[in-house]
């Protein structure tokens, strides 16, 4: 289980950036997923700025604008694209953005040993 005491936030300047270790670092900080109405909420620490963040994962579609004659490719992966959503300030962050700009993919499984 993740340490409930978050590390100190690092107010790095906003930059769209990823690293091979971001997924592993985020997963290590994650608490158990919190069920929501149409999915669940992941709570953890951004691997770049170390800010506390929450990331909603919607796994139930409740409305679609896809017309019946259009086919949609199924995602062959269980990877979930994530990005920093910490609410703390970051220099040079555009007004319509959240977080520090870090992004990564995590793979969700039902097996806690994975």
How far is residue 40's CA from residue 38's CA, in Å, rounded to a whole number? 7
Mean pLDDT of each 10-residue bin along the chain, 114 residues long: 62 96 94 86 94 88 56 57 93 94 86 51
pLDDT at 44: 93
Per the CB < 8 A criterion, the answer to whether 86 and 7 are in contact is no
pLDDT at 38: 82
List, in order, residues 6 or more apart from 27 with CB less than 8 Å away.
44, 106
Per the CB < 8 A criterion, the answer to whether 100 and 12 are in contact is yes
pLDDT at 113: 52
pLDDT at 68: 55
Q: Which sequence spans correspond to the domains of the chain?
A: 13-59+79-108
pLDDT at 7: 59
């Amino acid at each position: 289980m993740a340490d409930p005491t978050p590390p100190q936030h690092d107010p790095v300047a906003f930059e769209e950036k990823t690293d091979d270790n971001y997924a592993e670092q985020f997963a290590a900080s994650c608490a158990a997923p919190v069920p929501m109405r149409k999915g669940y909420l992941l709570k953890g620490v951004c691997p770049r700025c170390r800010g506390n963040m929450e990331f909603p994962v919607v796994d139930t579609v409740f409305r679609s604008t896809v017309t019946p004659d259009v086919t949609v490719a199924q995602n062959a992966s269980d990877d979930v694209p994530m990005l920093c959503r910490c609410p703390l300030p970051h220099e040079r962050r555009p007004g319509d953005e959240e977080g520090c700009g870090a992004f990564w993919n995590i793979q969700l499984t039902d097996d806690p040993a994975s």
